[in-house]
């Protein structure tokens, strides 16, 4: 007599207790549907495959936090994967904007080889003003802004790498950007 098939919720709870066989069964059940969702979100099969892999690592790490009274197992998993995909889209968007900005900058630079030294001096002054304003921010805010905008890290990656809550990362970035705006406008 065969054993009755376990529900998704039972499998997820077992995976949360370290049961690799339960995790394997969850993977087999969820992977095709999650991959389809990720492919729709990202419009890129390779990116969807990467997020699928990263998402299942995250699912394994966080399975113990699953509460069957709050949601179905698949819904819970979809939220994890959706957040991973959104983080990836943000990172890709930031990277594309940086590349586009670099192309525009190079094109502008090539077109303005004969630009006056006055323009160069003004650009250098603006860069210096921004650097000075950035240095006036509290260390945590400056560090978060540098990680997010200069290194292109997602809020989630910053949170994990510094071992601080995600909300703290977002708050520090928001407050830092607002303070930076005020400083650049000449406010105190």
Q: What is the pLDDT of residues 70-109, one digit of tens each?
A: 999 999 999 999 888 888 888 876 555 555 555 555 544 4
Please tell me the pTM assigned to this model.
0.49
54 lies in the same domain as 99 = yes
135 lies in the same domain as 152 = yes
Q: Of 114, 146, 171, which residue constitutes the final position of a domain?
A: 114
Q: Which two tokens stand for residue 168?
A: 């703290």
Q: Which two tokens stand for residue 120?
A: 């160069």
75 lies in the same domain as 104 = yes
How many domains is the chain built from?
A: 2
Return the C-alpha torsion angle 160, 164, 166, 170, nearest 10. Answer: -120
Q: Which two tokens stand for residue 167?
A: 């909300």
84 lies in the same domain as 25 = yes
Q: What is the pLDDT of residues 15-70, one digit of tens each?
A: 999 999 999 999 999 999 999 988 888 888 898 999 999 999 999 999 999 999 99
Residues 6+ apart with CB under 8 A from 154: 87, 88, 90, 91, 148
- 174 has pLDDT over 60: yes
Tell me the residue range of the domain where 145 lies: 115-188
CATH classification of the domain holding 146: 1.10.10.10
125 lies in the same domain as 84 = no
Q: Of 114, 131, 160, which residue constitutes the final position of a domain?
A: 114
63 lies in the same domain as 9 = yes
The dihedral sign for the CA sequence 98, 79, 13, 166: positive
65 lies in the same domain as 92 = yes
């Amino acid at each position: 007599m065969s054993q009755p098939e376990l529900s998704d919720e039972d499998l997820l709870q077992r995976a949360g207790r370290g049961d690799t066989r339960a995790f394997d069964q969850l993977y087999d059940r969820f992977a095709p549907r999650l991959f389809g969702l990720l492919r729709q979100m990202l419009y890129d099969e390779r990116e969807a495959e990467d997020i699928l892999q990263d998402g299942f690592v995250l699912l394994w790490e966080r399975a113990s936090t699953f509460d069957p009274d709050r949601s179905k197992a698949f819904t819970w998993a979809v939220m994890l994967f959706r957040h991973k995909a959104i983080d990836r889209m943000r990172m890709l968007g930031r990277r594309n904007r940086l590349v586009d900005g670099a192309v525009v900058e190079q094109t502008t630079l090539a077109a303005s080889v004969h630009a006056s030294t006055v323009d160069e001096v003004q650009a250098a002054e603006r860069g210096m003003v921004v650097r000075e304003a950035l240095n006036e921010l509290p260390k945590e805010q400056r560090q978060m802004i540098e990680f997010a905008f200069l290194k292109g890290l997602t809020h989630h990656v910053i949170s994990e790498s510094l071992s601080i809550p995600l909300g703290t990362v977002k708050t520090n970035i928001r407050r830092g950007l607002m303070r930076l705006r005020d400083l650049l406008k000449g406010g105190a």
